[in-house]
Amino acid sequence: MPFRKNLSSRRGDKEKGDPLIEKTDVLSKTPLIGILCWEEGCSPRGLVQLEKLPGNSTNPETFAFPVKYCRIKGANIHTILENPCQKVLQSMIGEARKMEARGIRAITTSCGFNAVFQRELADSVSVPVFTSSLMQIPLVENMLGKHQTVGVITAKKSALTEKHLEGAGVKNRISIHIEGLEACTEWNKIFSSPTEEIDIPTVEKDVVDIARSMMKMADIGAFVLECTDLPPFADAIRETTGRPVFDFVTLTNFIYQAIKNDG
């Protein structure tokens, strides 16, 4: 399947500074959703590439409504994905409270592994918090027949623990089938060679191939993409497998519909 060339467009190439700007060009509305993101300059080169794709959580053009981004000092692949850090959690809580005070009505994060902090973040503010696309798993489970399985594709299967699933509200581990991208050479550069660029079309092909292989291993009724860098490839998965795909974007759009006020 040919890679969609528009996904590899690099919106930030002509812009200076941090591309995580506040998007306020939709009918001059104030942002209602806040996104807690990794610290600037701490992401592997491959993730920086992925962040520029339409559909990525940290590309403002992904959304048809304004969003507010906030960089969290100390938040990176090590302190969030590999070794969840309580100090970083406290920084996230502080920024979440500031967001709420400024009128943000719902708060999310730029990494699905923040599900491990779901309870602490939700308890720290009075607005809805949805840390991870994994929170859609219970909903999807209830949509499917008892013979079907939810296919979960994650950035790193070995790092996705029961605590993450519990934080996302997943109680029935039997009805989900999880596969990670660690075995994909190009994707794994994010972890093994963080200063190297990745080939985006190859990453898309590998993601689609994993989804296709999962269909052979289980009766997958729908997919949930844990990683917020994977939504740019969701349409390719839908086209190849014929299955619904839920991700960070579907969850954020759902929450926005619940909190917006067009009156």
Please give the C-alpha separations between residue 217 and each of 93, 142, 151, 160, 203, in angstroms, as whole numbers. Answer: 40, 21, 10, 20, 21
pLDDT band of residue 29 (cuts 50, 70, 90) is: confident
> Taking the model in full, what pTM does it have?
0.88
Q: Identify whether the C-beta of residue 68 lies closer than 8 Å to the C-beta of residue 99.
A: yes
Residue 211 domain boundaries = 133-247
No. of helices (H) and no. of strands (E), the chain: 9, 8
Q: Are residues 12 and 123 in the same domain?
A: yes
Q: What's the whole-number mean pLDDT along residues 92-105?
A: 97
In a shared domain, residues 9 and 91:
yes
What is residue 3's predicted lDDT score, i.e. its pLDDT? 52
For residues 138 and 122, membership in a common domain is answered with no
What's the mean pLDDT in 83-104? 97
Q: Are the C-beta atoms of residues 111 and 81 closer than 8 Å to each other? A: yes
Q: How confident is the model at residue 155 (pLDDT cuts 50, 70, 90)?
A: very high
- Bridge partners of residue 220, in order along the sequence: 149
Task: Tell me: do 190 and 239 sit in the same domain.
Answer: yes
Quick one: 79 and 150 in the same domain? no
Which residue has better confidence, 172 or 91? 91
Q: 37 and 48: one domain?
A: yes
| Confidence band for 131, pLDDT divided at 50, 70 and 90 | very high
Q: In this structure, what CATH number is given to the domain that contains residue 93? A: 3.40.50
- Same-domain pairing of 41 and 108: yes
pLDDT score, position 173: 79
Same domain, 27 and 117: yes
255 and 232 in one domain?
A: no
CATH classification at residue 158: 3.40.50.1860
Look over the chain and give the mean of its residue pLDDT values, rounded to a whole number.
90
pLDDT given at position 40:
83
Whether 191 and 243 map to the same domain: the answer is yes
- Res. 101: pLDDT tops 80: yes
Strand pairing report for 149-154 and 245-246: unpaired
CB contact at 8 A, 247 and 225: yes
Predicted confidence band at 11 (pLDDT cuts at 50, 70, 90)? Answer: very low
Q: What is the pLDDT of residue 80?
A: 95
pLDDT at residue number 28: 42
Is 108 found in the same domain as 196?
Answer: no
* Confidence check: pLDDT of 121 > 50: yes
Q: Which amino acid is at 121?
A: L
CA–CA–CA angle 87, 90, 96 (5° rounding):
145
DSSP string, 23-61: P--STTPPP-EEEEEPPTT-S-HHHHHHHTSTT-TT-GG
**Total of domains in the chain:** 2
Whether residues 174 and 120 fall in one domain: no
